Amino acid sequence: MPATDNQGSFLNRISIRRNQFTSMDNNHDQELEDLELFQKHVADRFADLLSIPSPNIPPIPTPNSNSNSNDSSSAAATDSPSAATETQILPPPPLMSISWFRNLLDAFLCCEAEFKAVLVSGRDPSQFSKPPLDRLIPDLLERAVKALDVCNAVTHGVDLVTHWQKLAQIAVTALNQNPIGEGQVRRARKALNTLLTSMVFDDKENANSNFHGKWTERTRSFGRRGAAAASALNSKDRTAGNFRSLSWSVAKSWSAAKQIQAMSSNLVAPRGGESTGLALPVYIMNMIIVFVMWALVAAIPCQERNGLATHFQIPRNLGWAQPIIGLQEKIGEDWKKKEKKGTAGLLEEVQRMEKVANSLVEFSDTFVFPLEEEKAADLAAQVAELAEICEKMEEGLGPLHQQVREVFHRMVRSRAEVLDVVDQVSKLSAPAPY
């Protein structure tokens, strides 16, 4: 009997060890599957932003000329309104437009949520205290703090673009009057000159501006009529101060370009065994954070963008990175061209607004009453285009502002959750006091 008991005990221990190894194998397989899915989802989301057709979208069916038996059914399916609705694929928004950035921030929020699930959910907290996570997690948290500063600056930049939209709307309202006279043209020219002055405003030369007016006071000044409003619009010093205080709430020494440079430094892709572990999703999320913040800074007015990097190193052999590299190259090329001209940013609506505003200012300089029929038609077309831009901005800038704030708060919450896990690990590893 004792021998039998010992034998049973030994077999039980073997069974327990076997179950432990099986459980570890299952957990490892699940972890690999989660990593593969995370990479695939990142690639798919950014491929959509690059306007690359997703392999998951079925092609639009076409009639088969070689099959006579299915001609009638194919024609019926093609002519059916429901079939047309199912196969219709809306064109993607223009790169760097407000709608595109809203899609970009949606993709970021989805990637961030999935990353947190891969990193934290069901994870043994003790892994956070082991290499390589013991050094990668603090680096990720520090990068998130820098991204919060960028979000704050971008939020104020969106406010500035909203102010530009209001100035452009003043010009649209004035030039839509019929008949149009000297007074309307003069009012439109003042608003457009103020708009263009702000767009080419060099924050380096005016870094020591001391004007700190409030947004409500600025908008109210454009609502007043008469000589006081005209004087405010024509004052160059006042204009520079207004837009400085509107856009920048960070320290005068803060630089968006340097912030992005600091965020993109020390980003090294995992190698060897780390390339199949948790180091990989941490690296991917770091790259996503840097890319999204870099794109926002390139498009939205931010303090000190001179010298903004046009690219950062991403290994080309990584499948998930190909769409991000493609977007980086496109945006970087545009930035190289526009930066030399002192542009207000790469936001598509802002670039169009700047072009139309310049054209309308040229028109106002040569305006003669009564307006010739050909010039009136050209003016109407330009005013209609500016009105369309204003409408898109009015519809999109508010939601974009909210999304940037949502990104800000999401990163704050996620950072706090990761810090909680790190604190738990520290408490568990601390020696018991005796």
Question: How high is the pLDDT of residue 8?
Answer: 54
> Does residue 101 or residue 266 have the better pLDDT?
101
- Asked if 368 contacts 180 with a C-beta cutoff of 8 angstroms, the reply is no
Q: What pLDDT score was predicted for residue 122? A: 67
Domain of residue 367: give its range. Answer: 98-162+256-424
**Is residue 7 situated within a structural domain?**
no
| 346-367 pLDDT tens trace | 999 999 999 999 999 999 998 8
Of 422 and 124, the one with more pLDDT: 422
Taking the model in full, what pTM does it have? 0.78
* pLDDT value at 220 more than 60: no
Name which residue leads in pLDDT, 236 or 319. 319
| Domain-embedded: residue 195 | no
**Torsion angles phi and psi, residue 305, rounded to 5:** -100, -5
Question: For the chain, what is the domain count?
Answer: 1
Exposed, middle or buried by CB within 10 Å (0-12, 13-18, 19+), for 160?
buried
Q: Is the pLDDT of residue 118 over 60?
A: yes
pLDDT tens-digit series, residues 274-302: 877 899 999 999 999 999 999 999 999 99
CA atoms of 250 and 365, how far apart (whole Å): 38
Average pLDDT over the chain, rounded to an integer: 79
> Looking at the domain assignment, is residue 136 inside a domain?
yes
Domain-embedded: residue 29:
no
Residue position matching structure tokens 């500016």: 386
Q: N- to C-terminal Cα distance for the chain?
A: 45
Question: Residue 109 corresponds to which tokens in the numbers above?
Answer: 């929020």
Q: For residue 171, is it within any domain?
A: no
Q: How large a percentage of the chain has pLDDT more than 90?
A: 52
* pLDDT of res. 423: 86
User: Residue 155: is its pLDDT beyond 70?
Assistant: yes
Q: Is the pLDDT of residue 83 over 50?
A: no
Does residue 64 sit within a domain?
A: no
Residue 131 is given by DSSP the state: T
Tell me how long the chain is. Answer: 434
Lowest mean pLDDT among 141-145, 241-245, 294-298: 241-245
The burial class, CB within 10 Å (0-12 / 13-18 / 19+), for 117 is middle
Does a structural domain hold residue 415? yes
Nearest one of 319, 394, 415, 328 to 164, comparing CA atoms? 394
Domain-located, residue 133: yes
